[in-house]
Amino acid sequence: MTRKHKIQRIGLITGGGDCPGLNAAIRAVTRAAINEHRWEVFGFLDGYEGLVEDRWTPLTSDRVSGIISRGGTMLGTSNRADPFHYHLHNSKKTSNHVKDLLQTIKRHGLDGLVIIGGDGTLTSAAKLHKLGVPVVAIPKTIDNDLRGTDVTIGFNSALTIATDSIDRLHTTAEAHHRVMVVEVMGRYAGWIALRSGIAGGGDVILIPEIPYDPKCVAATIERRLHHNRRFSIVVVAEGAHPKKGKMVVDHIDKKSPDPIRLGGIGKYVANQLETAGYESRVTVLGHLQRGGTPTAFDRWIATQFGVKAVETLASGQSGRMVAVQHGNIITIPLAQAVHKLHRVSPKGDEVRAAMAVGTSFGI
């Protein structure tokens, strides 16, 4: 989509779960828009809620000064605010509030939107693009499950936190001769578990893409004991599940566009190992993976993505997502990014490398 008039002001939101690097992206979009094009930037609060309910704050170079190293998002976010299925005032029912969103855009004379989010947020962004809203998206999710980009904002920080946690658990596992089970996030993709497990020297890595056999996991622990390795580290993605078994669901959040809340597989695996005779403890990292200071990489990639998003809008393009492929910052059709999740290939180089150094995937 190409616009026929000059851009004067744009809107910006952060939607979905928070992650380190969002503030760096907000800063980059704001400063590039102002410094390069003299646009006005409207920051809408709490994701799509701000656009539906017309809650916003002006973003200036001064307002975004000093936020690059801060976690979270200065604009707030929401993973329950899909404008196509909107929960208004804590109602249990959803309704379409796209009309309100479009009125907000018209009221402020917005010439485009930069939407920072994961697959849920960007799926809604793709729908808005089809309705004629000029949209450019920036991918952020600790799960790294958006297609078309090698990495998303937040993934590197979450990976670093998970790896550091595994490092710390090594010492107590060795001291007590136990199996330490570490449950990490990732939803239906095993990227955090795979890479933190490799980097942290995990002995077993369980991911959604490779259903595991509990007997094979126990056999790995037994082999280590036979070689006088009296402790083991098992890294489990929250979406992992046994062969012919289901993912463990913690609860259902009916107000969310993605109502299934995974959680509990770590305890499940630990219980299986205890039953097999191996003393085990479980640590669930949970939202620790979303918090804290973003890594240098996430600050860097967020800045690159933010500037590219502004350049893309300025060129008259819409319905695009900024991405990095083979070190190059590019854009791809937004619909391509949300068509299907980016998941670990069971036969890919990373899995084969892990197996080559002796890591088990429970198969």
Q: Mind telling me the catalytic residues? A: 143
- Using an 8 Å Cβ cutoff, are 132 and 1 in contact? yes
Single-letter amino acid code for the residue at 244 = K
Q: Which of 111, 195, 202 is nearest to 161 (CA)?
A: 195
Strand ranges in the chain using DSSP code E only, listed in sequence order: 9-14, 40-44, 56-59, 113-117, 135-139, 179-184, 204-206, 232-237, 249-252, 260-262, 280-284, 320-325, 328-333
CA–CA distance, 146 with 139 (Å, rounded to integer): 7
Quick one: the chain helix, strand, coil %, rounded to 5? 35, 20, 45
CA angle in degrees (0–180, nearest 5) for 279-161-249: 60
Residue whose entry in the numeric block shows the structure tokens 């485009």? 112
Residue/partner pairs of 338-341 with CB below 8 Å, 24 or more apart: 338/119, 338/122, 338/123, 338/126, 338/146, 338/147, 339/147, 340/147, 341/119, 341/145, 341/146, 341/147, 341/188, 341/189
